[in-house]
A and B are shown apart, each in its own frame.
Chain A
Amino acid sequence: MRFDPVLLSRDAEGLFWMARYLERVENLARLIEVTQSFESPGYERDAWFGLIRINADEKNFAERGFSPDADHVKRFYLLDKGNPTSVQANLEEARTNARTLRPLMSTEMWRQLNVFHRFASHIKPADLEGDALSRLCTALKDGVQAHTGITEGTFYRDQGWYFYELGRLVERADQTTRMLDIKYTAILPRDGEEKRVAELTQWNAVLRAAAGYHAFKRLTGPSFSAEDVVHYLLRDPSSARSVLLCVRRAEAHLDDLRRIYGLSQAWEAMEVAEYLRELLLEKPLSHILAIGLHDYLDIVQIHIQKLAGAIGRAFFRDWRPAPIAAPSSQSQSQSQGPAEVTT
């Protein structure tokens, strides 16, 4: 038997993006759940518009003809096929990538994705109302987690798997920063005990959305500070969705690609990952919180995008012939056709 796995650059890119799109679906479901818990009487609108803000979707939202109320935001993310940041669009993109990747995927992966896609295409406006919304979010999370589990159990671990993992880690890191950011869009009572309790409730909601509530409580006990939560989601090397954990694993994967598969061009991405790791650890959190978490998270997000860009340049793009017309260099979505050649 010949054992010489060939991975087309297009397929590497497809795997990377399939994983990203699916991770986005799961995180969007998480963000929607936490947003619902931030709803307080009279302030529903602000809570839901916060979701638009942390995703930097203001322009897109307005252009799609929506107005900033709770119903519209939910529809925008859960039903609107024309919104590229919706669950529908992300799943469509994931499935389109999966179709190109079918010879590489297990039948079980493809089947589950196909069935999940069909489930999501049947989401109705009624599923967005009241208690149904939380069930829907659970179903969406379940769908992605089933995908992740089937992938873990069936996907062949060659270079392709590394690109799949890199996509997932990059997206998860990015989404966790948004989950933290959303706390700062939430409305708080002016002061006093009421404020203290509301703050606690909101942090708990963020932790729940990040699936970290129990582990966090086990670590910190009943009383905790904002700094503790930020630490847990940004820096805790054991917290499953922390940015640091994602970056470290991405770095290790890049190193494997370099060592095991001789792909020395991984170096640039490794340097970005290393810088990102330093960025996450260098300053005390008290300092970051004092300067402003939101601005700090912006910088982290920019570097996560740089990491994705470096992976793309090294493996998906450089080989392509010079483009006829330079497309937009939006690094947050998959390139269509020849990508930009950066020199």
Chain B
Amino acid sequence: MNQISAWPDYDAGRYFCELTRQRDDAGPVPGWLIQRLERIGMADLRARAAAAETELIDLGVTFTVYSDATAIDRILPFDCIPRILTHGEWELLERACIQRVKALNLFLGDIYGPAKIVRDGIVPGELIFGNANYRPEMKDFPVPHGTYVHVCGIDIIRDEFGDFRVLEDNARTPSGVSYVVENRHLMLRAFPDLMAGIRLRPVDDYGRRLRAAMSEIAPGGLDDPQVVLLSPGIYNSAYFEHVFLAREMGVPLVQGSDLIVEDERVYMRTISGLRPVHTIYRRLNDDFLDPAVFRPESALGVAGLIGAWKAGNVAIANAVGTGVADDKAVYAYMPRIIKYYLGEEPLIKNVETHICREPEGLQYTLDNLDKLVIKPVGESGGYGITIGPRASAAQLEAARAALLADPDNWISQPMIGLSVAPTLGEDGIGPRHLDLRPFIVTGKESWVLPGGLTRVAMKQGSLIVNSSQGGGSKDTWVLAEDFSPEVLP
């Protein structure tokens, strides 16, 4: 089943393979793709993959890794064998993402408002009001269209049975969307023969959709509001993406020092004087936004920004205080949150999660350390994770000590056999684990970029797909509905 005649050594084992597992609505695409890869041949495939990576370096499609005192520009390793999502799979993913964002926004509106969900005993109050990412400044401050999370990235994995599961919500400033678009461009340039005749959902619309959402949330009555992208600057690891998004939206890329607040209005400093700003898509954490309200030492933000926002003179996306919703501890309650606000079951389930702040969750975790993945609730980027089944005795003991020292800081989940896809490695084409991060843009309504970022662990057997830890990416193909197999050569 998981064996491919063209690659006799390829074996996905017990994992779900995203390419070779036949799905009814994929038509002959997987088979043809494999034939086309065969036709290109290993040597040419390698040469073209190398050329594609050089191109990424030349174009500066890079992110920055900080280790100790050094900062190194790296490319996100690119794997040239695409990951395929069928029309049916995408339809489910799209609906599930919209459902989830809707619930996140209702949840945020509630907890910064009447907090009914707490009063009804669905989510413990201390999880919200005691959360470091809860912003009291947001209390009783309505946001346009009830949208707090304008840009959301939801990390989704696929288990051994091929069932999708949500691993994590990213509701603050999720990154990676630029790679979705750049990867597609790269594929079109370097592998036109691989893509010929296969109709895919396009990914080029992101900038327009984002710009439209940013205009929808601008203070009322403006035909053509001034939108800007606020970046921490060139030393930020996602700076390339900031450039990309500013360009795709056609808006100025500003830094804190370019903005000034006067009489609770925000202006940018131009060669012809101060110009009003109406919507700020910020790629800066809450903490740094306004030194007058949050961290006083932050030189990245703008003094008075929160005041201008609360006066209704500027829109900020994502809203301040969304971090309380994508917290790993709150994540565990998401199925109940969806049910509470929407009266629906989640279209895509969570990964089963044990909350160590609850005695039974802690006990279960301590009893099954060697079978579970143990995660700190406040970290991102794959840091601080212990993978029980792969940890040494010493690592397990360290995890146990950390859990006991501060149980509130931890959750645990069963080890999921992440799906795999054929990936070009040093010893040929082999299965590598991957996940998917679709991006959802919400102004008045939600829109999901077809596909999303497929992150792949480039090392054989590795489950860590994070770019900061050696993960790479693949182009994600969503097959179009009107895909007609007859036209394929």
| A residues whose Cβ falls under 8 Å from a Cβ of B | 2, 6-10, 12, 96, 99-100, 102-103, 107, 110-111, 114-115, 118, 159, 163, 261-263, 315-316, 319-321, 337-338
Q: How far is the CA of A163 from the CA of B272 in the complex (A)?
A: 13
Of B141-149, B188-196, B245-253, the one with at least 4 CB within 8 A of chain A:
B245-253
> Can you sample 11 A-B contacts with CB below 8 Å?
A8-B269, A9-B270, A9-B271, A99-B234, A99-B239, A103-B243, A111-B59, A315-B271, A320-B269, A337-B257, A338-B257
The answer on a CB contact under 8 Å between A103 and B246 is: yes
Return the chain B residue nearest A320 by Cβ: B269
In the bound assembly, the distance between CA atoms of A161 and B120 in angstroms comes to: 61
Task: Give the chain B neighbours of A2 by CB distance below 8 A.
Answer: 224
Given A9-B269, A114-B59, A263-B271, also A96-B252 (CB < 8 A):
no
The 8 Å CB contact of A7, one of B60, B234, B257, B270, is B270
Q: In the assembled complex, how far is the CB of residue B302 from the closest CB belonging to chain A, in whole angstroms?
A: 12
Report the minimal beta-carbon distance from B458 to chain A, rounded to whole angstroms.
23
Measured CA separation A6–B246 after assembly (Å):
13
**Given A8-B258, A9-B270: A102 and B243 interface contact (C-beta under 8 Å):** yes
Given contacts A6-B275, A100-B233, A320-B269, 5 further A-B contacts (CB under 8 A): A6-B268, A7-B271, A10-B258, A102-B60, A103-B246
- A2 to B21 CA separation, bound complex (whole angstroms): 49
B164 to chain A, nearest CB (A): 36
Contact B255 A10 (CB under 8 A): yes
Q: Could you mark each residue 228-263 of chain B with 1 if its beta carbon is under 8 Å from any beta carbon of chain A, else 0?
A: 000001100001000100110000111101101000
Partner of B272, one of A103, A261, A320, A338: A261
Least CB distance, B214 to chain A, in whole angstroms: 15
The reply on B273 being an interface residue by CB < 8 A is yes
Which B residues are in CB contact (< 8 Å) with A319? 269, 273-274
Main secondary structure of the interface of B (DSSP, over half): mixed
Docked complex Cα distance between A163 and B271 (Å):
10
How far apart are A109's CB and chain B's nearest CB, in angstroms? 11
Q: Is B268 within 8 A of A8, CB to CB? A: yes
In the assembled complex, the Cα of A118 lies from the Cα of B246 at a distance in Å of 26
Contact yes or no, B252 A8, CB < 8 A: yes
Chain B, interface residues (CB within 8 Å), range: 20 to 34
Per the bound structure, the CA–CA distance linking A102 and B272 in Å amounts to: 21
From B60, B239, B252, B273, A110 is in contact (CB under 8 Å) with B60
| B486 CB, min distance to chain A CBs, angstroms | 37
Query: Which residues of B are interface residues toward A (Cβ below 8 A)?
Result: 57-60, 224, 226, 233-234, 239, 243, 246-247, 252-255, 257-258, 260, 268-275
For B275, what are the chain A residues with a Cβ–Cβ distance below 8 Å? 6
**CB pair A8 B233 closer than 8 Å:** no
Most A Cβ at <10 Å: residue of B243, B247, B268, B275? B243
Task: Tell me if B254 and A8 are in contact (CB < 8 A).
Answer: yes
9 nearest interchain CB pairs? A102-B243, A99-B234, A103-B246, A315-B271, A103-B253, A9-B269, A12-B271, A103-B247, A319-B269
Task: Give the distance in Å from the alpha carbon of A93 to the alpha carbon of B257 in the complex.
Answer: 19
Instruction: State the CA gap A321–B299 with chains docked (Å).
Output: 14
Query: A103 to B58, Cβ gap below 8 A?
Result: no
Query: What chain A residues lie within 8 Å of B234 (beta carbons)?
Result: 96, 99-100
Query: Closest CB of chain B to A114's CB: distance in Å?
Result: 5
- Are B272 and A263 neighbours in the complex by a CB distance under 8 Å? yes
* Cα separation A337 to B257 with both chains bound (whole Å): 9
Closest to B245 in A: A103
Beta-carbon nearest neighbor of A337 in chain B = B257
Q: In the assembly, what is the distance between CA of A257 and CA of B239, in Å?
A: 31
B contact residues around A99 at 8 Å (CB): 60, 234, 239, 243
The verdict on A114 contacting B243 (CB below 8 Å), with A100-B233, A103-B253, A263-B272 known, is no
Task: Please name the residue on chain A nearest to B226 by beta carbon.
Answer: A6
Give the CA-CA distance A112 to B5 in the complex, in Å: 44
Question: What's the nearest-Cβ distance from chain B to residue A13, in Å?
Answer: 9
Asked if B243 and A6 sit within 8 Å, CB to CB, the answer is no
Interface contact A115-B270, CB-CB below 8 Å: no
Set of chain B residues within 8 Å of A315, measured between Cβ atoms: 271
Decide yes or no: A159 and B271 within 8 Å by CB, A2-B224, A111-B58 being known contacts: yes
On chain B, the residues within 8 Å of A7 by CB distance are 270-272
Contact of B58 among A6, A100, A115, A320 (CB under 8 A): A115
- Report the bound CA distance from A115 to B57 in whole Å: 9
Candidate in A100, A163, A315 with the most chain B CB atoms within 10 angstroms: A100
Q: How far is the CA of A103 from the CA of B242 in the complex (A)?
A: 9
Chain B residues with CB under 8 Å of A114's CB are 57-60
Q: How far is the CB of A35 from chain B (nearest CB, A)?
A: 33
A53 vs chain B, min Cβ distance (A)? 35
- Across-interface contacts of A100 in B (CB, < 8 A): 233-234
Question: Can you name the residue of chain A whose Cβ is closest to the Cβ of B62?
Answer: A114
Contact call A6/B252, Cβ cutoff below 8 A: yes
CA distance A114 to B243 in the complex (A): 15
Q: Are B252 and A103 in contact (CB under 8 A)?
A: yes
- Of A6, A103, A110, A159, the residue contacting B59 (CB under 8 A) is A110
Residue among B58, B271, B273 having the largest count of chain A Cβ atoms under 10 Å: B271
Q: Shortest Cβ distance from B99 into chain A, in angstroms?
A: 34
A2–B223 Cα gap in the complex (Å)?
Answer: 11
**B414–chain A nearest beta-carbon distance, Å:** 43
Q: What is the minimal beta-carbon distance from A289 to any residue of chain B, in angstroms?
A: 41
* Complex CA distance for A319 and B268, rounded to whole angstroms: 10
The distance from the CB of B80 to the nearest CB of chain A, in whole angstroms, is 21
Do the beta carbons of B59 and A8 come within 8 Å of each other?
A: no
In the complex, A110→B272 CA distance in Å? 26
**Residues of chain A within 8 A of B253, CB atoms compared:** 102-103
Tell me which residues across on chain B come within 8 A of A96, comparing CB atoms.
234
Do residues A107 and B269 form an inter-chain contact, with CB atoms below 8 A?
A: no
Q: What residue in chain B is nearest A114 (Cβ atoms)? A: B60
Chain B's nearest CB lies how many Å from the CB of A187? 44
CA–CA, A308 and B254, complex, Å: 24
Residue on A nearest B303 in the bound complex, by CB: A321
CB-defined contacts of A12 to chain B, threshold 8 Å: 271
Quick one: closest B residue to A314, CB to CB? B271
Instruction: Enumerate chain B residues within 8 angstroms of A338, measured Cβ to Cβ.
Output: 257
Give the shortest distance, in Å, between A72 (CB) and chain B (any CB): 28
Report yes or no: A6 in contact with B270, Cβ–Cβ below 8 A: yes
How near does chain A come to B270, taking the closest CB pair, in angstroms?
Answer: 5
